[in-house]
Amino acid sequence: MSDSKRFDNYIGGEWVAGATYSSNINPSDLSDVIGEYAQADVAQVNAAIDAARSAFPAWSMSGIQARSDSLDKVGSEILARREELGTLLAREEGKTLPEAIGEVTRAGNIFKFFAGECLRISGDYIPSVRPGVNVEVTREALGVVGLITPWNFPIAIPAWKIAPALAYGNCVVIKPADLVPGCAWALAEIISRAGFPAGVFNLVMGSGRVVGDVMVKNRKVDGISFTGSVGVGRQIAVDCIARQAKVQLEMGGKNPQVILDDADLKQAVELSVQSAFYSTGQRCTASSRFIVTAGIHDTFVEAMAERMRSIKVGHALKSGVDIGPVVSKAQLDQDMSYVAIAQDEGARLVTGGERVTCDTEGYFLAPTLFADSTAQMRISREEVFGPVANIVRVADYEAALAMANDTEFGLSAGIATTSLKYANHFKRHSQAGMVMINLPTAGVDYHVPFGGRKGSSYGSREQGRYAQEFYTVVKTSYIGS
Ligand code: UN1
């Protein structure tokens, strides 16, 4: 299966060889090399930024019909190739094929959505307080945007940053995650044939330390949209604010899933398994803290243990597999270190906690659940980013709500209940950007705002029409006579 095809960077409308190359390896089968992907050096990143800068004046004034047509073309091709791109995604990232095809479909739909959105850019026309004067409030493109995307959604997150950026007239330099450049490269190749002028879209692959750092610090980049870890995100914010660049960050979560006594048990177990363990728990929206009221606690722990024993872990491309491998050795080590930490802290291992052996050598980990944990334990406070979750018992709804909010994060929060009163109260009082009632905390729509509060996010929302907040700047014009 291994081939050594080389995949280059895309700069100023040309495919450009990398300074070096790095192997893209399948985490379900370490003998499967997907290809050799270019690593840009500092000069290439600067060249991509210059190309974007040169293309910006014409592109930002370009007609919206042509922009819409190109975005629509990209969306149609992604959707037409969803099986093939889904297979590539499952192969490089390790989510199962159905999940990967779902993600590709989401990416295609995002391009379609923004093909429509760029025809709906609107403003306000307001009478001035001075007679005879009128005021116009309009939106203009931000400029050159640097997009830095994570490994866990190799095509959907690039899509939800690239599509609005282009729709609102910006030029793009994107750096996909070093672990999963394949889908971003495939997307770049589709974009390269969709009719965008040279320099409007640029792909520079490589490490955050080299490529990301140049993008964040180069004064010709007007804004950075980043999804990734808290540590990197906070440093990007510092660097961007120091030079007054716009910044948008989506980072970690420690998303609570509250289960109340009156929950439908079967539904609560299904949504909990889905949001904690599917996609190998590698979603910033995954729930990893189950906060369960006393009356249902023991039944819930028992039902989760039983349901989890039926989950099949294996090669992401094999049919019947529910959960693929962890993405990398480093991530597997981190997951296993939290299994040890939770045990040292005194949490009780209900199920999982060990590696799974398959026909191929890969980073397989059994979905892992701890019970008898407390809110102060590290397993309750720190993001693991793997198929590892824990359960905390609480007396009642009020204690559950307080514990759900007792976190430095605030991305997504869920409640399972049949009570309208508690559902409504939770919706209003949860300190998260997204609240899910009788639904998994992960798995969001593509046409509505996405983002969190507190340590999870910074800057304006992504997705839906709210994306325009980041990708445009507002101009107020006064028109006299
Ligand atoms: C989802 O739950 O459908 O990195 C999307 C992440 C998020 C995306 C989650 N930015 O996991």
Q: Residue 214: which pLDDT band, with cuts at 50, 70 and 90?
A: very high
Q: Where in the chain is the domain with CATH 3.40.605.10?
A: 6-251+456-480
Which residue's CA is the nearest one to ligand 1's atom 4?
284
Q: Is the pLDDT of residue 143 over 70?
A: yes
Q: How far is the CA of 444 from the centre of ligand 1 (A)?
A: 7
Question: Three-state SS for 481?
Answer: coil
Q: How far is the CA of 469 from the centre of ligand 1 (A)?
A: 20
Q: Which atom of ligand 1 is nearest to the CA of 282?
A: 11
- What confidence score (pLDDT) does residue 365 get? 98
Kind of pairing between the strands at 368-371 and 348-351: antiparallel
Q: How far is the CA of 353 from the centre of ligand 1 (A)?
A: 24
Sheet containing 457-458: which strands, arranged edge to edge?
14-16, 9-11, 201-203, 171-175, 144-148, 223-227, 246-250, 457-458
Mean of the per-residue pLDDT values of the chain: 97
Q: How far is the CA of 443 from the centre of ligand 1 (A)?
A: 7
Which residue's CA is the nearest one to ligand 1's atom 1?
443
Secondary structure, 3-state, 247-291: EEEECCCCEEEEECCCCCHHHHHHHHHHHHHHHHHCCCCCEEEEE
DSSP notation for 73-89: HHHHHHHHTHHHHHHHH
The reported pTM is 0.97
Which residue's CA is the nearest one to ligand 1's atom 7?
284
pLDDT in tens, 332-350: 999 999 999 999 999 999 9
Q: How far from 307 is each of 38, 259, 295, 297, CA to CA, in Å?
A: 43, 16, 20, 15
Q: Is the pLDDT of residue 130 over 90?
A: yes
Torsion region of 135: left, alpha or beta (phi above 0 gives left; psi -120 to 50 gives alpha): beta
Within 6 A (CB) of ligand 1 lie 150, 152-153, 227, 250, 283-285, 442-444
Q: Catalytic one among 77, 284, 462, 469?
A: 284
Q: How far is the CA of 51 from the centre of ligand 1 (A)?
A: 31
> Which one of 3.30.70.80, 3.40.50.300, 3.40.605.10, 1.10.1660.10 gives the CATH number of domain 6-251+456-480?
3.40.605.10
CA angle 281, 270, 435 (to 5 degrees): 70
Which residue's CA is the nearest one to ligand 1's atom 3?
443
Q: What one-letter code names the amino acid at 438?
A: N
Q: What is the mean pLDDT of residues 422-427?
A: 98
Q: Is the pLDDT of residue 2 over 80?
A: no
302: CB partners within 8 A, 6+ apart: none
φ/ψ (deg, to 5) at 455: -70, -5
Beta-bridge partner residues of 462: 450
255-437 homologous superfamily: Aldehyde Dehydrogenase; Chain A, domain 2 (3.40.309.10)
Q: What one-letter code names the amino acid at 187?
A: L
Instruction: Quote the percentage of the chain above a pLDDT of 70.
Output: 99
Q: Is the pLDDT of residue 1 over 50?
A: no
The answer to whether 240 is a known catalytic residue is: no
Q: What is the mean pLDDT of residues 244-264?
A: 97
Q: What is the mean pLDDT of residues 64-88?
A: 98
Q: Is the pLDDT of residue 376 over 50?
A: yes
Kind of pairing between the strands at 457-458 and 246-250: antiparallel
Token pair, residue 84, equals: 């093939």
Residues, the chain, total? 481
Q: Is the pLDDT of residue 414 over 70?
A: yes
Q: Catalytic one among 77, 92, 99, 250?
A: 250
CA proximity to 71, closest of 142, 168, 180: 168
CA proximity to 39, closest of 204, 235, 252, 165: 204
Test site for ligand 1: of 148, 249, 284, 445, most ligand atoms within 8 A of the Cβ: 284
Test site for ligand 1: of 444, 458, 462, most ligand atoms within 8 A of the Cβ: 444
Q: Where in the chain is the domain with CATH 3.40.309.10?
A: 255-437
Q: What is the mean pLDDT of residues 420-443?
A: 98
CA angle 451, 442, 212 (to 5 degrees): 50
Locate tokens 């909010």: which residue? Answer: 405
Q: What is the mean pLDDT of residues 367-384?
A: 97
Test site for ligand 1: of 99, 157, 409, most ligand atoms within 8 A of the Cβ: 157
Q: How far is the CA of 440 from the centre of ligand 1 (A)?
A: 12
pLDDT in tens, 156-198: 999 999 999 999 999 999 999 999 999 999 999 999 999 999 9
CA proximity to 455, closest of 402, 419, 406: 406
The answer to whether 398 is a known catalytic residue is: no
Q: Residue 280: which pLDDT band, with cuts at 50, 70 and 90?
A: very high
- What confidence score (pLDDT) does residue 4 get? 77
Q: What is the mean pLDDT of residues 372-387?
A: 97
Contact 301, 371 (CB under 8 A): yes
**What is the C-alpha to C-alpha distance for residues 202 and 193, in angstroms, rounded to an integer?**
13
Token pair, residue 58, equals: 């014409």
